[in-house]
Amino acid sequence: MLYQQSREDSAGLLRLAVQRMGQHPAALTPICYTVWYEYLAGINPHLATSMDARLREGGTLADAAIDELYRRHCSEFSAEMQQHMRDASQHVLVNLRQQADEARLRIGEFGGRLEQSASSLSGQQGVEALHSIISSLQGETAAVASSMRDLGQSLEQSQQAIDDLRRQLDHARAEALVDPLTGTMNRRGFDIRMDESLGHARRQQAPLSLVVLDIDHFKQVNDSYGHLFGDQVIRGLAQILKANVKGRDTVARIGGEEFGLLLPETDVGGARILSEKICHTMALSKIRRVSSNQEIGGITVSVGVASLAQDEDQNGLFDRADRAMYASKGNGRNQVTVAHV
């Protein structure tokens, strides 16, 4: 469970969150509160990294920034999917309650009728009166049985609806971890997979390498050829990455023009060889502009490689690979730098 704070701690976080929210122009919505609560509670490290970077720049957090932070780091599902799940669940519950209320009413009426019949039978009754009571009870019993069948069918339909919701939820959860432009994992999916990979590496005492790649001069590419071509470049790099990984390796778009590769069971030497192959392949690639059919080449990537060190956590591993990538940029771009422990 994400929220494990005590009542006293959560009350303190509430006061602090409201205070901090008041210092920024974003509306005081539940989404805004969630972002500030998780940041101040220290339970969402990737949110904290993004928030710290924004706050260090001296900027204020408006609605758009809060929405982006929430979508990227706090919410598994879109607002539309959340509303759909709420509406569908409510519909199932309302139907169940109506059927249960009707069944309860029928049983109550049947109980009253049984008491009335028992009272009638306690007196002296003729054959015709007895037949009438039995016939009435048969009708009441049939009505209750019908009501029970309706309730059973309703329960079965509700179970089917719940199963459908569960499948939709699983599908939505999977979609929430995928970058729509490239079909690779997004940053949230990457963080989840990285946490799993670190756990596996610790348990199996196996190597784990991380590769961080960033497209060189990407702003210049966008300015020169347009954002649509920029998207083509991002998709092209994603295709190269996917073509060069295997098995349990993970490709993720973790920023605008930044990608991450998680390589379980791969030491730093193997990760370097793979990274140099990718770097070389990208530099030789030509990407055709859809608008003019012109082929554009010479687009390169800078790459950083790090292998998991003893007692290193997720943030430490990523930070070393990221700094190695920036070292590649500082040394002239279009190259691979290996981070040392």
Residues 45, 170, single domain; the answer is no
Segment 305-328 shows an average pLDDT of: 96
Residues 60, 102, single domain; the answer is no
257 part of the active site:
yes
Residue 159 located in a structural domain: yes
Residue 181 located in a structural domain: no
Give tens-digit pLDDT for 13-41: 888 888 899 899 998 888 888 899 889 98
Residues 256, 306, single domain; the answer is yes
pLDDT of residue 71 exceeding 90, the answer is: no
The pLDDT value recorded for residue 9 is 81
* 80 confidence band (pLDDT: 50, 70, 90): low
The pLDDT value recorded for residue 281 is 98
Buried b (16+ CB within 10 A) or exposed e, 215-244: bbbbeebbeebeeebbebbbbbbbebbeee
The pLDDT value recorded for residue 113 is 67
Residue 1 located in a structural domain: no
Residues 220, 330, single domain; the answer is yes
Residue type, 287: I
Residue 41 located in a structural domain: yes
Token couple for 174? 């999977």
pLDDT of residue 232 exceeding 70, the answer is: yes
Residues 95, 163, single domain; the answer is yes
The pLDDT value recorded for residue 155 is 65
DSSP-H helix ranges across the chain? 7-21, 30-41, 45-56, 63-73, 79-122, 127-175, 187-204, 218-225, 227-243, 268-284, 314-330
* Sheet strand arrangement including 336-338: 250-253, 258-264, 208-215, 301-307, 336-338
Domain end (from 126, 145, 175) = 175
Percent residues over pLDDT 70 in the chain:
76
CA-to-CA separations, 219 to 203, 213, 229, 230, 279, in angstroms, rounded? 42, 15, 12, 9, 19
* Average pLDDT of the chain to the nearest whole number: 84
Q: Is 24 helix (H, G, I), strand (E, B) or coil?
A: coil
Residues 253, 131, single domain; the answer is no
**Rounded to 10 degrees, what is the CA torsion of 306, 311, 314, 318?**
-30
Rg (CA), the chain: 31
**Which residues, at least 6 apart from 36, have a Cβ–Cβ distance to it below 8 Å?**
17, 20, 21
Residue 65 located in a structural domain: yes
Domain end (from 24, 49, 73) = 73
Segment 212-224 shows an average pLDDT of: 95
Residues 136, 48, single domain; the answer is no
* Across 26-40, 150-164, 321-335, least confident range: 150-164
More reliable by pLDDT, 49 or 158: 49
Please state, in angstroms and rounded to a whole number, the distance separating the CA atoms of residues 70 and 239.
29
Helix axes 314-330 and 187-204, enclosed angle (nearest 10)? 110
The pLDDT value recorded for residue 187 is 87
Residue numbers of the domain that contains 160: 79-175
Residues 37, 95, single domain; the answer is no
Residues 68, 83, single domain; the answer is no
Nearest-5° Cα angle at 166, 165 to 171? 95
Please identify which of the residues 257, 258, 295, 312 carries the catalytic annotation: 257
CA-to-CA separations, 149 to 10, 99, 162, in angstroms, rounded? 48, 10, 20
pTM: 0.60
**Which residues, at least 6 apart from 249, have a Cβ–Cβ distance to it below 8 Å?**
261, 262, 263, 264, 266
Residues 316, 238, single domain; the answer is yes
Give tens-digit pLDDT for 92-144: 666 666 766 776 777 777 666 666 666 666 655 666 666 676 777 677 777 77
DSSP codes joined into one string, 113-136: HHHHHHHHHHS---HHHHHHHHHH
Q: How many domains does the chain have?
A: 3
- CATH number of the domain bearing residue 262: 3.30.70.270
Residue 2 located in a structural domain: no
Domain end (from 73, 102, 125) = 73
Residue 316 located in a structural domain: yes
The pLDDT value recorded for residue 117 is 63
Residue 64 located in a structural domain: yes
Residues 89, 60, single domain; the answer is no
The pLDDT value recorded for residue 1 is 43
- Provide the sign of the torsion angle of the four alpha carbons 240, 243, 244, 245, taken in this order: positive
Segment 250-275 shows an average pLDDT of: 96
Residues 90, 147, single domain; the answer is yes
pLDDT of residue 327 exceeding 90, the answer is: yes
More reliable by pLDDT, 198 or 81: 198
pLDDT of residue 263 exceeding 80, the answer is: yes
